[in-house]
């Protein structure tokens, strides 16, 4: 693009403005440059072509008559530039805004222009362009350290003023970046391809390679200067060199995009990935934590169900709690205490909700103040939010919880609230260049100027009356327009009555317009006052913004408390409405639920249908691995997921949908769904299923909770059963984690024989008149049969097909009594007795790589098809 660009401008005679444009373009050659000209932001050359195509705007041409075809040009109106920029950034472009930085009226010669902002996917600050319910981080990933390799990761949220830093296992990197909500990634140029490999083809983020990095020593000095010496102490002790570099590069990048020092960035917070429950992306998707599996929508997800927040910042906080469940009991109990107190106090909760309705996205508004982009309306929203503090404080300060204490100790900044109240009109304008930001009485000089401007109207009415009387022209009008200023208009029919002191200004088809000495003097005074009034408003507004910015740290404390209160009140509301219980958190690896329900399915069941609650018990020292059988549609997946959701809810600090719940703290939760069930993914391959299973076997510990739903389904029955068997054995013998294993392979129920911690459970169904009735009750022991045909009948499969299916099933069941036959094997010609068994015996699943396992499966299939191994 750059060389094409140079070729296009080569040999042209450049105007001074074009030279100014090219200088700006050269500063950021890879960004699309939007160049302010009058009321438009224009793009030229290749940028114009790209913008025309991406935005569907007209491609025109400047200096067409020069003979070289002119300069391609495309423009957007300046007042709407934000939405165009957002669209370009969304398509992966970086946009440089080059604005006029002096008043064109006062400029001598060419108006001075400068790049005022670089807009990138990770540094958006336009509230309309940002997803209100999700954070927006730019992250930095550094070079690998140690073995197994971990990488330093830093993340910066521009508007929240937040800096995070951690070390992340390479294996978790892609998941962690997604979980955080990273929109853009900085990497050292040398690490680019390595990081791209780690992210995988599906998970690419806009990547920005950096060629010259700050050195570790300089980075440490810069951090200490900015945040004090403790800035370098993380949870693991002193920050590593890589972490220091990551933080400094992020700050440099953010400041370069905003073209200013960012004083609002808070001290970096170091965290360990393992401090929270690790939920990989497959698990998050399968459990539908934030979006649904089938159509990727928020509605129908757990977060959708939990989110009764009144503010966007509350929703973001809740989402973050859900994706980062805690492992530290004291921190969880603190949230549970607050939820409990709010749940028990319905009246208080109503007051709180009402007050929160008046609170705006204070977190992001403060960010806009800090980066110098706050509008009068933004400050109005800050004021509105602060006005709710007294009511919230009154409702919450009594609470005998950590939340209550924080409200008691909060500085509600009454002087700032009062100042904003006194200063701003009820509905401040959108732009600071518009008049009418301030209330009368706030600033005497401004009031005087406003009075002069306001006199205008009275004067004009008076003048019109006097001139009508003097000339006898009844329809004489005194008016104003932007181009010609003030004038007296007389229609053609009345021209004869025009006095001699009228000076003609403009001729229209039906009228003439005049000015008089008196009107001219008035015009000078008023226009002058109007200019000075605007200047005064701008000056006062800048002062007010500075005053708010100076309270940034205190306001951040307020916004954080508001967001958390909102999230906690939301959890309390859900708990109250759903009659949830407070979970008992324990250290032992158990999960004991009485009358538990699936929070989302329960809510979405069609009217009249009741969700059937179930008891469920898992215990790493007892009922460690539950084999769950039952016909299709019985409710296996549902009951398994509800176990995981209860654990996640408990560790995020929420009440849970059950009568009682004892939850042993989990370090990780895994959920795998067999390929055939995994519709949403759009790539339901057996390979993916096996890779995911391999990852569980590698990472699960005794503290983990593992859900396997029909794993092994994506291949033929024999392969599937054998793999499922071996995986279950491994989880029992070696890992020892709490496991729920739903399967339609009856063979697996035999696993319980001789294995102390494997138990069979099933979901009860009843057969009435040849039809199956789902009872939804979890019971001891394996399912006695699979009722596939009855379920098919429920689905309306034709009678003939059902009859034939029953015949085939009868045949299969007769064969099952034959030794060495599995129920699941079809009535086809079979291999010689024993060949398969021998081949199976020869396999040692524990010592196979996934690829070897695939090859072995293939061999087993060949044996079955041909009756003898090949080669
Ligand atoms: P399976 O995995 O056994 O095929 P699912 O768990 O997918 O069955 O459940 C199928 C449907 O049955 C669910 O979508 C839900 O509508 C209903 N269902 C499941 N469990 C219950 C329950 N405990 N109470 C009421 N309805 C349930
Ligand atoms: Mg299922």
3-state secondary structure of 584: strand
Distance CA 101, CA 111 (A): 8
List beta partners, residue 187.
209
Q: Which pLDDT score, from 0 to 100, does residue 102 have?
A: 84
- Is residue 366 within 8 Å of residue 263, measured between CB atoms? no
3-state secondary structure of 185: strand
3-state secondary structure of 352: helix
List beta partners, residue 481.
485
For ligand 1, is residue 312 a contact (CB within 6 Å)?
no
Question: Regarding predicted confidence, which is higher, 105 or 353?
Answer: 353
Q: Which pLDDT score, from 0 to 100, does residue 575 have?
A: 98
Question: Regarding predicted confidence, which is higher, 401 or 7?
Answer: 401
For ligand 1, is residue 293 a contact (CB within 6 Å)?
no
Q: Is the pLDDT of residue 449 over 70?
A: yes
Q: If pLDDT is split at 50, 70 and 90, which confidence band does 772 have?
A: confident
Mean pLDDT of 387-416: 95
Taking CA atoms, 758 is separated from 623, 624, 764, 782, 790, in Å, by 6, 6, 19, 12, 29
Q: For 144-195, write each residue's pLDDT tens digit.
A: 988 889 999 999 999 999 999 999 999 889 999 999 999 999 999 999 999 9
Q: For 313-331, write each residue's pLDDT tens digit.
A: 999 999 999 999 999 999 9
Q: Which pLDDT score, from 0 to 100, does residue 530 have?
A: 84
Q: Which pLDDT score, from 0 to 100, does residue 2 have?
A: 44
Mean pLDDT of 397-422: 95
Q: Whose CA is nearest to atom 25 of ligand 1?
A: 611
Distance CA 140, CA 254 (A): 12
Q: Which pLDDT score, from 0 to 100, does residue 678 have?
A: 46
Distance CA 471, CA 487 (A): 15
Q: Which pLDDT score, from 0 to 100, does residue 660 have?
A: 98
Q: Is the pLDDT of residue 602 over 50?
A: yes
Q: Which pLDDT score, from 0 to 100, does residue 457 have?
A: 75
Q: Is the pLDDT of residue 260 over 70?
A: yes
DSSP codes of every residue in 455-485:
HHHHHHHHHHHHHHHHH--TT-EEEEETTTE
| Ligand approaching nearest to the C-alpha of 596 | 1
Q: If pLDDT is split at 50, 70 and 90, which confidence band does 626 have?
A: very high
Q: Which pLDDT score, from 0 to 100, does residue 128 have?
A: 86
Distance CA 582, CA 344 (A): 12
Taking CA atoms, 216 is separated from 140, 213, 584, in Å, by 15, 9, 46
Distance CA 494, CA 589 (A): 98
Question: Regarding predicted confidence, which is higher, 360 or 695?
Answer: 360
Q: Which pLDDT score, from 0 to 100, does residue 816 have?
A: 61
- The DSSP output letter for 551 is T
For ligand 1, is residue 611 a contact (CB within 6 Å)?
yes
For ligand 1, is residue 595 a contact (CB within 6 Å)?
no
Mean pLDDT of 811-838: 54
- Is residue 257 within 8 Å of residue 31, measured between CB atoms? no
Centroid of ligand 1 to alpha carbon of 813 (angstroms): 28
- Is residue 27 within 8 Å of residue 96, measured between CB atoms? yes
Q: Which pLDDT score, from 0 to 100, does residue 3 have?
A: 46
Mean pLDDT of 586-594: 97
Which of 190-204, 209-223, 786-800 is the most confident on average? 209-223
Centroid of ligand 2 to alpha carbon of 791 (angstroms): 13
Distance CA 606, CA 608 (A): 6
Q: If pLDDT is split at 50, 70 and 90, which confidence band does 591 have?
A: very high
List beta partners, residue 709.
673, 742
List beta partners, residue 668.
278
Q: Is the pLDDT of residue 871 over 80?
A: no
For ligand 1, is residue 776 a contact (CB within 6 Å)?
yes
List beta partners, residue 706.
670, 739
Q: For 265-275, write each residue's pLDDT tens digit.
A: 999 998 888 89
Q: For 25-62, write each residue's pLDDT tens digit.
A: 998 888 999 999 988 999 999 999 999 999 999 999 88
Q: Is the pLDDT of residue 870 over 50?
A: no
Residue 577 CA, chain-centre distance (Å), reads: 27
Q: Which pLDDT score, from 0 to 100, does residue 702 have?
A: 96
Q: Which pLDDT score, from 0 to 100, does residue 827 have?
A: 38
Beta-sheet strand order (sheet of 162-169): 207-210, 182-188, 137-141, 150-157, 162-169, 269-270
Which phi and psi angles does 480 have, rounded to 5°?
-135, 140
Mean pLDDT of 71-85: 91
Q: What is the CA angle 664-669-670, rounded to 5?
A: 145
Q: Which pLDDT score, from 0 to 100, does residue 402 have?
A: 96
Q: Is the pLDDT of residue 613 over 60?
A: yes
Q: If pLDDT is split at 50, 70 and 90, which confidence band does 67 have?
A: low
What pairing do the DSSP bridges indicate for beta strands 71-77 and 150-157? unpaired
Q: Which pLDDT score, from 0 to 100, does residue 129 have?
A: 87
Q: If pLDDT is split at 50, 70 and 90, which confidence band does 775 have?
A: confident
- Is residue 185 within 8 Å of residue 205, measured between CB atoms? yes
Q: Whose CA is nearest to atom 6 of ligand 1?
A: 635
Question: Regarding predicted confidence, which is higher, 233 or 30?
Answer: 30
Q: If pLDDT is split at 50, 70 and 90, which confidence band does 1 have?
A: very low
Distance CA 683, CA 704 (A): 27
Who contacts 472 (Cβ-Cβ below 8 Å, separation ≥6)?
497
Question: Regarding predicted confidence, which is higher, 551 or 13?
Answer: 551
Q: Whose CA is nearest to atom 4 of ligand 1?
A: 633
List beta partners, residue 126.
none
- Is residue 585 within 8 Å of residue 650, measured between CB atoms? yes
3-state secondary structure of 626: strand
Q: Which pLDDT score, from 0 to 100, does residue 799 have?
A: 79
* Strand (E) or helix (H) holding 304: helix 302-306
How high does pLDDT run on average in the chain? 88
For ligand 1, is residue 713 a contact (CB within 6 Å)?
no
Taking CA atoms, 805 is separated from 163, 226, 642, 785, 798, in Å, by 62, 75, 34, 15, 11
| Ligand approaching nearest to the C-alpha of 628 | 1
Residue to substitute in 286, 602, 614, 635 for testing ligand 1 pocket (most ligand atoms within 8 angstroms of CB) = 635
Q: For 832-869, write each residue's pLDDT tens digit.
A: 567 777 777 777 777 777 777 777 787 777 777 655 44
Distance CA 103, CA 12 (A): 29
Who contacts 524 (Cβ-Cβ below 8 Å, separation ≥6)?
none
Q: Is the dihedral of CA 574, 578, 582, 586 positive or negative?
A: negative
Residue 653 CA, chain-centre distance (Å), reads: 21
Mean pLDDT of 639-643: 96
Distance CA 549, CA 369 (A): 6
DSSP codes of every residue in 793-812:
HHTT--HHHHHHHHHHHHHH
What is the percent of the chain where pLDDT is above 90?
63
């Amino acid at each position: 693009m750059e060389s094409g660009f140079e070729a296009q401008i080569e040999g042209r005679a450049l105007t001074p403005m074009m030279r100014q444009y090219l200088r700006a373009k050269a500063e950021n050659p890879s960004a699309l440059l939007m160049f302010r000209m009058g009321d438009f932001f224009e793009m030229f050359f290749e940028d114009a072509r790209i913008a025309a195509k991406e935005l569907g705007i007209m491609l025109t041409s400047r200096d067409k008559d020069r003979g070289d075809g002119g300069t391609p040009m495309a423009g957007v109106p300046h007042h709407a530039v934000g939405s165009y920029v957002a669209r370009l950034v969304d398509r992966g472009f970086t946009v440089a805004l080059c604005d006029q930085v002096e008043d064109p009226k006062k400029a001598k010669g060419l108006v001075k222009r400068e790049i005022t902002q670089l807009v990138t996917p990770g540094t958006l600050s336009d509230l309309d362009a940002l997803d209100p319910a999700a954070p927006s981080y730019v992250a930095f990933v550094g070079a690998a350290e140690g073995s197994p390799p971990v990488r330093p990761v830093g993340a910066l949220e521009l508007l929240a003023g937040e800096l995070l830093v951690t070390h992340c296992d390479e294996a978790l990197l892609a998941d962690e970046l997604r979980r955080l909500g990273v929109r853009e990634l900085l990497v050292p140029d040398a690490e680019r391809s390595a990081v791209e490999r780690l992210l995988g083809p599906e998970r690419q983020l806009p990547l920005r390679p950096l060629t010259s990095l700050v050195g570790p020593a300089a980075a440490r000095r810069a951090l200490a200067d900015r945040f004090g010496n403790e800035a370098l102490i993380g949870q693991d002790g002193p920050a590593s060199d890589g972490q220091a570099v990551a933080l400094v590069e992020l700050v440099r990048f953010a400041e370069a995009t905003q073209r200013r020092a960012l004083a609002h960035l808070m001290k970096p917070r170091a965290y360990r990935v393992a401090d929270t429950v690790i939920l990989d992306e497959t698990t998050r998707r399968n459990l539908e934590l934030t979006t649904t599996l089938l159509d990727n929508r928020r509605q129908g997800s757990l977060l959708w169900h939990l989110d009764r927040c009144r503010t966007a910042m509350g929703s973001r906080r809740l989402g973050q709690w859900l994706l980062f469940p805690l492992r530290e009991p004291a921190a969880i109990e603190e949230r549970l205490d607050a939820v409990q107190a709010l749940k028990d106090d319905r009246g208080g909760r109503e007051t709180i909700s009402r007050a929160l309705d008046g609170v705006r996205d204070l977190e992001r508004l403060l960010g806009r103040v800090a980066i110098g982009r706050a509008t009068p309306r933004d400050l109005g929203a800050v004021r509105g939010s602060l006005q709710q503090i007294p009511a919230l404080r009154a409702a919450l300060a009594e609470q005998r919880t950590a939340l209550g204490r924080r409200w008691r100790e909060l500085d509600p900044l009454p002087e700032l609230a009062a100042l904003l109240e006194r200063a701003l009109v009820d509905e401040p304008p959108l732009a600071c260049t518009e008049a009418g930001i301030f209330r009368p009485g706030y600033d005497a000089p401004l009031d005087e100027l406003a009075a002069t401007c306001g006199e205008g109207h009275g004067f004009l009415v008076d003048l019109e009356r006097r001139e009508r009387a003097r000339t006898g022209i009844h329809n004489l009008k005194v008016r104003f327009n932007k181009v010609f200023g003030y004038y007296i208009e007389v229609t053609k029919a009345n021209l004869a009555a025009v006095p001699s002191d009228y000076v003609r200004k403009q001729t229209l088809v039906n009228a003439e317009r005049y000015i008089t000495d008196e009107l001219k003097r008035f015009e000078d005074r008023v226009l002058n006052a109007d200019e000075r009034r605007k200047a005064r408003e701008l000056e006062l507004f800048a002062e007010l913004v500075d005053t708010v910015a100076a309270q940034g740290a205190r306001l951040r404390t307020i916004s954080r408390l508001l967001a958390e209160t909102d999230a906690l009140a939301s959890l309390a509301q859900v708990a109250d409405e759903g009659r949830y219980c407070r979970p008992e958190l324990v250290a032992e690896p158990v999960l004991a639920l009485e009358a538990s329900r699936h929070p989302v399915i329960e809510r979405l069941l069609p009217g009249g249908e009741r969700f059937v609650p179930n008891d469920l018990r898992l215990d790493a020292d007892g009922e460690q691995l539950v084999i769950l059988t039952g016909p299709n549609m019985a409710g296996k997946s549902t009951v398994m997921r509800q176990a995981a959701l209860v654990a996640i809810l408990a560790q995020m600090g929420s009440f849970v949908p059950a009568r009682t719940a004892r939850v042993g703290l989990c370090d990780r939760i895994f959920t795998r769904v067999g390929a055939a069930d995994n519709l949403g993914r759009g790539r339901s391959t057996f390979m993916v299923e096996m890779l995911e299973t391999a990852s569980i076997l590698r990472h699960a510990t005794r503290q983990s909770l593992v859900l396997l739903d029909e794993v092994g389904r994506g291949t033929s029955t024999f392969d599937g059963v054998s793999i499922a068997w071996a995986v279950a054995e491994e989880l029992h013998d070696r890992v020892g984690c709490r496991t729920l294993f739903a399967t339609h392979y009856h063979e697996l129920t035999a696993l319980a024989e001789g294995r102390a911690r494997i138990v069979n459970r099933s979901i009860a169904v009843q057969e009435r008149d040849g039809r199956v009735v789902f009872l939804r009750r979890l019971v001891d022991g394996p399912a006695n049969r699979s009722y596939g045909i009855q379920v098919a009948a429920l689905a309306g499969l034709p009678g003939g097909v059902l009859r034939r299916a029953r015949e085939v099933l009868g045949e299969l069941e007769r064969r099952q009594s034959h030794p060495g036959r599995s129920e699941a094997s079809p009535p086809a010609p079979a291999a010689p007795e024993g060949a398969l068994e021998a081949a199976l015996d020869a396999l040692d699943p524990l010592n196979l790589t996934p690829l070897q396992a695939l090859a072995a499966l293939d061999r087993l299939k060949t044996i079955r098809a041909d009756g003898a191994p090949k080669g």
